[in-house]
Amino acid sequence: MQDAMADDDLDAYAAAGTRLLGIAVAPDWQPAIRAHLRVALTLGGLVAGFDLPDEAEPGPVFTA
């Protein structure tokens, strides 16, 4: 699993994303954004680190 990112790195990541999307973010939201990014990166690391057996098949896609 990936080591925890530093607060400055998470802030830079959030700033780059919001700038690309054209979203204004109030400075007092930064701790919550940082916390959510930390959780998302942790969970993503768990999923990415899970080895699937060779016989694993993708799940079906259902459409309405």
Strand boundaries in the chain, DSSP class E: none
Residue type present at position 45? G
What pLDDT is attached to residue 64? 87
pTM over 0.95: no
DSSP collapsed to 3 states, the chain: CCCCCCHHHHHHHHHHHHHHHCCCCCHHHHHHHHHHHHHHHHHHHHHHCCCCCCCCCCCCCCCC
Contact, 5 vs 41, CB < 8 A?
A: yes
Whether residue 3 has pLDDT greater than 90: no
Whole-number percent of the chain with pLDDT over 70: 95
Whether residue 9 has pLDDT greater than 90: yes
The whole-chain average pLDDT of the chain stands at 91
